[in-house]
Amino acid sequence: MAGAGALALAAPGSARAAEATRRAYLGTYTTQPGGGTGMGLASYRPRSGRLASAGVLVGVQNPSFLALSPDRRTLYAVDERAEGAVTAVRVGRGTPEVLGRPRATGGADPCHLSVHPGGRFLLTANYTGGSVSVHPVGPDGVLGEPTDVVRHKGSGPDPERQEGPHAHMVVTDPAGRYVVAVDLGTDSLHTYRLDPRTGRLGEHARAAMKPGAGPRHLAFHPSGRYAYVVNELDSTLVVCAYDGPGGVLTPGTPQPTLPPGTRLSGRNYPAGVVVSPDGRFVYVSNRGHDSIAVFAAECGGAALRLVSATPSGGSYPRHIALDPSGGLLFAANQRSGTVAAFRVHRRTGRLTAAGPALAAPVPVCVLPV
């Protein structure tokens, strides 16, 4: 954890926030060759995007995905293993520290998690388990035992990747009404209601994607009227109209995540998708092409137009994230062991490399705060 307590942080909105060094957290696989020994700690400068290593929080196993609580005081990490678990970490101005003990998710290989907007529940997607878990969150951020584990059913046409359900992401819609789970194995988007009293999920609706598409992640437009779903298996992006009050997603026509005429020696597997704070641009990471695709959101977010595809600053960009200002984009390049920073052009959405990439062991998630 060397250096973690020495980071100079400023509260968002403070007079010197734009000048101060901010913190970023890095997810990795601790059980893979060349992987890390725990959750990585880093710092970055909001103006230049320059990244620097700030140590490691050991004792957090396979933290392949990270999420911050609404009050920004607690971070949650998955433990992506057969005996899946989630861990709470106290963060803030001091040195991060693990809170309580890891809690089992009741599903194998948790790969994504998010905190419900009210801050009282943690939602986790278990990939191999094909399920979604709910954990209660105490006032101090400590996790309790699961209040629900919902297993999806079904399969898809790809015999290797879709032999059964594979929940890959779970988030809450912008209004906080419904929970949406993305399942790569069944080509489906599940919409749930979360009971705030019991912490249990009730399925409300289900949307079918194109067979074999393999939906992986989604991101909502700030208006709440559209969601953008990235499909891992057929390398496409889909605009879904979203009826917020009704909790119903309606998928549109898929479009490629790569420029026309692109030729690759192997396959391309899109991974991450994020939307700019103003809703004008959508970014998708391409593993294989090793690029970040920039789409302009038009017609109020109802249509997307490919603007550019910028090299990701490494190999196999598994995860991308915007900083809170939307002025920087970070890419975690899994196979090259690098985290790259890009400046975002406010008018065009295009990306420009912001200095040298940061070396990190098997980076698979980056969370700038």
Where do we find the tokens 């990244």? 51
Token reading at 10:
């400023």
Angle formed at CA 104 by CA 161 and CA 320, multiple of 5 degrees: 55
Q: Which of 309, 324, 337, 307 is nearest to 29 (CA)?
A: 337
Task: Please report the pLDDT score of residue 158 as a whole number.
Answer: 98
Q: How far apart are CA 300 and CA 360, in angstroms?
A: 38
Tally the C-alpha atoms within 13 A of residue 127's C-alpha that lie toward its C-beta. 18
Task: Please report the pLDDT score of residue 116 as a whole number.
Answer: 99
Which architecture does CATH list for 63-318? Answer: 7 Propeller (2.130)
Q: 188 near 215, Cβ under 8 Å?
A: yes
Q: Is the pLDDT of residue 3 over 60?
A: no
DSSP 26-41: EE--SSSTT--SEEEE
The letter for the amino acid at 273 is V
Domain boundaries, the chain: 63-318
Binning pLDDT at 50, 70 and 90, where does residue 197 land?
very high
Q: Which residues face 83 on adjacent strands?
A: none
> What is the distance between the terminal CA atoms of the chain, rounded to a whole angstrom?
18
Q: How far apart are CA 103 and CA 295, in angstroms?
A: 38
Q: Which of 119, 219, 234 is nearest to 174 (CA)?
A: 219
Q: How far apart are CA 67 and CA 254, in angstroms?
A: 28
Q: Is the pLDDT of residue 259 over 90?
A: yes
Q: How far apart are CA 131 and CA 119, in angstroms?
A: 21
Task: Please report the pLDDT score of residue 19 as a whole number.
Answer: 56
Q: Is the pLDDT of residue 96 over 70?
A: yes
Each residue of 8-51: pLDDT tens digit? 333 344 434 445 899 999 999 999 999 999 999 999 999 999 99
Binning pLDDT at 50, 70 and 90, where does residue 92 land?
confident
Q: Is the pLDDT of residue 213 over 70?
A: yes
Q: How far apart are CA 297 and CA 347, in angstroms?
A: 12
Q: Which residues face 105 on adjacent strands?
A: none
Each residue of 144-171: pLDDT tens digit? 999 999 999 999 999 999 999 999 999 9
Q: Is the pLDDT of residue 360 over 50?
A: yes
Q: 229 near 251, Cβ under 8 Å?
A: yes
Q: How far apart are CA 304 and CA 222, in angstroms?
A: 15
Angle formed at CA 310 by CA 307 and CA 314, multiple of 5 degrees: 160
Task: Give the three-class secondary structure for 337.
Answer: coil
Torsion angle (degrees, nearest 10) of CA 240, 214, 362, 97? 60
Q: Is the pLDDT of residue 262 over 50?
A: yes
Q: How far apart are CA 172 and CA 180, in angstroms?
A: 6
Each residue of 167-196: pLDDT tens digit? 999 999 999 999 999 999 999 999 999 999
Token reading at 103:
């809690």
Sheet holding 131-136, edge to edge: 110-115, 121-126, 131-136, 148-151
Q: How far apart are CA 257 and CA 238, in angstroms?
A: 10
Task: Please report the pLDDT score of residue 141 as a whole number.
Answer: 97
> Mean pLDDT, to the nearest integer, of 317-341?
99
Residues 6 or more apart whose Cβ sits within 8 Å of residue 116: 122, 123, 172, 176, 179, 194
Where do we find the tokens 């994020």? 274
Torsion angle (degrees, nearest 10) of CA 267, 25, 27, 78? -120
